[in-house]
Amino acid sequence: MSNPASTPPSGLPSGTAPKESRRWLKPRVPKEQLYRLSPRRPKPKRLGRLERWDWVRRAIRTWWIWLAVAIAALFAGYWVATAITAALSFFFYHITPESHAAVYALETDLDVESPEFPITMAGMTGMPLVPGNQVALFNNGDEFFPAMLEAVESAEHSVTMEQYIFWDGRIGRRFAEAFAEKARSGVPVKLLLDAVGSSTLGEPVLKILEAGGCQLAWFRPIHWYTIVRGNHRNHRKALIIDGKTAFTGGAGLGDHWLGKAKTVRSWRDIMIRVEGPAASVQQSGFAQNWLQSTGEILTGHDYFPVPAAAGDINVQTILSSPFEGTGAAGTMHLIAIQCARRHLHIANPYFIPDARVIDMLGHACRRGVAVKLMVAGEHNDTWWARQNSLRLYGKLLEAGVEIFEYLPTMLHQKIIIVDDAWASVGTANFDNRSLALNEETSVCFHDRALVNQLHETFLADLERCRKVQLARWKRRGFWQRAGEQFASLMEDQT
């Protein structure tokens, strides 16, 4: 009987042994093999054409160019120039997001009402669609703060929260007292605060929490030896009760969310409450960041109870993190835009889309989608974001997008509604920082009644807006335009 090991493979001459390939010793795949066996298909049109100023801005923000200038200045003996350019190189290196954004449109007739849409969304974001939930929407602080406090007071097993903004003030101290009271009753209370967004929390609130026995950890505190990771922030606003009820949305714990958004001091915002199995997804996001910040693993029924249906709504909770490289929140927005067929309504305070998104919105308008964009107007807490948004109005208007600026106060909600069939409420702004650099949360649902409720809210807010006209936008003065171009150097950070 012949030895199978000595039998040459089919196609080789008898008695000839293949010579061992030592290609693996090379540091790279040979160039001629890179695309040798890749599937052949027509190359789709790439989204996002960059203009001359876009290339200039990119060059200015390229860290290695500044490093080369620093080295040249060093050899030339210009010490001051060396220090300045080296600092700029260091700065731009650490603020540049490491993302791999989609640059090709979907080649499909998929729409949001098809059964394939939620499956596609779940597959591309890595976040499942969870059935059996009850969902409620709350407008402004006078609605969502009492509901959140009531939930804290009803907690029996655990209270967890990850929060970008927790500030001293009436609402901050009220929540601190509620957390402390619950902790004194024996319920574990764990709070994870962003070390930048909540850096002004203050001693009074900390003393209340400490006296009650609450646990508090800081997400990525800034030190000289941690500067390289300081650009990644936790922008989530998640409050989870017993692992069964979860709140999220645009609002932090600060006094400017109190009221009904009728004055400049009362911000306009929306929060969403999820009761049921989908709440555990937000708990999972908290637990992962808590582990990263404290080294503690959360286990057991107190934090992850056995799932029990609380309603009949399917919910997809998208947890976005810069460590994924693509940003699930950004992927969610792109898929929603490309699948819109009738209308696309977006409310977001900081709308700074890149060239790809502008192209996608233009394509949507050309295929008959009514695209309405509601943004913060003159009442805006961030000058940089306001200028970068204004700078892009022209491209958006020329593409067919209708833009509305909210007039009464700061608009801060982050919602997207597609074809009265699908919607999302979350924490992510429509800018590079949220879509590529921050931890974010978005709650998505297909429930028709809930989507219609959110749509009616959008239309009511639209009546308090001023529509932006292209002709008026073009009449902006020189200094306004100069300010916009200056702010664009920091568009990745706004």
> Is 242 an active-site residue?
yes
> Is 190 an active-site residue?
no
Q: Identify the active-site residue in 190, 232, 235, 363.
A: 235
- Dihedral Cα 18, 19, 22, 28, nearest 10 deg: -60
* Residue given tokens 């190189």 in the structure block: 89
> Is 414 an active-site residue?
yes
> Is 419 an active-site residue?
yes
Contact status, residue 473 vs residue 398, Cβ threshold 8 Å: no
Task: Report CA torsion sign: 339, 344, 347, 348.
Answer: positive
Query: How many whole angstroms separate alpha carbon 194 and alpha carbon 389?
Result: 25
Contact status, residue 204 vs residue 170, Cβ threshold 8 Å: no
* CB contact set of 459 (below 8 Å; sequence gap of 6+): none
> Is 343 an active-site residue?
no
For residue 69, give both structure tokens: 């200038």
Q: Identify the active-site residue in 182, 190, 232, 237.
A: 237
Q: Identify the active-site residue in 168, 182, 190, 242.
A: 242
Q: Identify the active-site residue in 182, 232, 244, 414.
A: 414
Question: Radius of gyration of the chain from Cα atoms?
Answer: 26
Q: Identify the active-site residue in 419, 447, 461, 492.
A: 419
| CA 35 to each of CA 27, 38, 337, 405: distance values in angstroms, whole numbers, following the listed order | 17, 5, 31, 48
* CB contact set of 204 (below 8 Å; sequence gap of 6+): 168, 173
> Is 45 an active-site residue?
no
Query: How many whole angstroms separate alpha carbon 305 and alpha carbon 158?
Result: 11
Helix/strand/coil for 249: strand
* Burial 244-283, CB ≥16 within 10 A → b, else e: bbbbbbbbbbbbbbbbebeeeebbbbbbbbbbbbbbbbbb
Catalytic residues: 235, 237, 242, 412, 414, 419
